[in-house]
Amino acid sequence: MNLMKPDEILTFKIGTQVFKRNNSVFIIPPNGTHILKIHGPPMKVIVSLFLGHTRQAIECQLKKMHMGINDSEHLVSNVIAMLSSRNLLEEDSSQGQFSSKDRYGIATLLNSLFLRSEIGQVTGFRTRLYLCGMSILALVSSIGIVIELTTILMGSWEFIESFPNPLELGLIGLGLSLWIVGHETAHAFVAGNYGVGILLAGISRFGGLLPLPYLDIRKAWAIDQWQHAQIAAAGPFFDLVALYLCLFLSHEINDFGIVFIYISGFGIIFLISNCNPLRSSDLSLMLEASSQDPELRKKALGQLPSAEGEKVSVDVYRAIIFLFVCWSSLLTGTIGFTFFQRVLQ
């Protein structure tokens, strides 16, 4: 392993986890024993190896930290030797960073499109600035959604008095498919920008019934907490922008207004599900990532005990649960009340 070639990618043992917290990285072996805590420059090397970067890319990254060529080569060799001595690396690295379970090649395709060859250098203040920018755009979209929903609910409903025809049903199905693809692509795009590859692209059951795609981006736990939060927030951010556009187009394009209304209806359900902190969702992952606690949701719901130092994070999570219940109840209640009022008239 010390003779790792410049363009070679090493692979950790299946089940090995690398978790970044504060200024340290924790390596959890597959058997869960003898957890390693690493800090300082070796931490950068371990994270890069875990994300599937080549030795050449890692040494280039170290040089940007003003480390000499000999020092960077020596550091990389020492870290690889340490990992090998603890039997944390696979002997056969031919699979690289991609999952052998990627049956349809979707994860490989997304990685080839979006994955950067080195860790994104957007850290600290700039990372928080980007996250604040996304939050502001999401807030503006949310206000736009409220305005558009009010306009639609208070306006004429003549264009949805009849059931969609076959052409409109086909367009609704196409629109929803593009929405879902856009949602997952948003996650992959932001993850790839920070050097995090997709391990697996699969299908999960939404509500136990409807099959929907999902991406396995668990390696994001090894990077900066605010970068990880951005990856989790990218999907709901796309949902908000897409929902606003559909609601806006529903009364701007009269011929296909019913198509955008139906897409918006399913989009609202999709958005509420992705922002539900009571279950494993994009919002719950974003909160867990920003607090660097993968068990935060379970602690907030009382499923796991929380330590004294975690009280603030748990209380914030519970406050967000309360706000979510109020928001979703108000949204669905308003739509339902207005709909039945129109039907009864």
Question: pLDDT for 154-201, tens place per residue?
Answer: 765 555 556 778 888 899 999 999 999 999 999 999 888 888 888 888
Query: How far apart, in whole angstroms, are the C-alpha atoms of residue 285 and residue 297?
Result: 9
What's the pLDDT score for residue 95? 47
Residue with tokens 């109840």: 329
What's the pLDDT score for residue 297? 93
What is the per-residue pLDDT across 236-280, written as a single tens digit (0 to 9) for each?
999 998 998 988 888 777 777 788 888 988 888 888 888 889 988
Query: How far apart, in whole angstroms, are the C-alpha atoms of residue 111 and residue 51?
Result: 12
pLDDT band, residue 2 (cuts 50/70/90): very low
Query: How far apart, in whole angstroms, are the C-alpha atoms of residue 172 and residue 176?
Result: 6
Strand partners, 18: 27
Domain borders along the chain are 1-78+92-97, 107-344
What's the pLDDT score for residue 232? 92
pTM assigned to the model? 0.83
pLDDT band, residue 101 (cuts 50/70/90): low
Identify the top-confidence range among 10-14, 18-22, 125-129, 211-215: 18-22
| Pick from 17-26, 71-80, 108-117: least confident | 108-117
Q: Percent of the chain at pLDDT above 70?
A: 81
* CA proximity to 76, closest of 98, 91, 92, 56: 56
Query: How far apart, in whole angstroms, are the C-alpha atoms of residue 345 and residue 343?
Result: 5
Query: How far apart, in whole angstroms, are the C-alpha atoms of residue 137 and residue 128?
Result: 14
Give the gyration radius of the chain's Cα atoms.
23
Whether residue 15 has pLDDT greater than 90: no
pLDDT band, residue 215 (cuts 50/70/90): confident
Residue with tokens 């918006």: 264
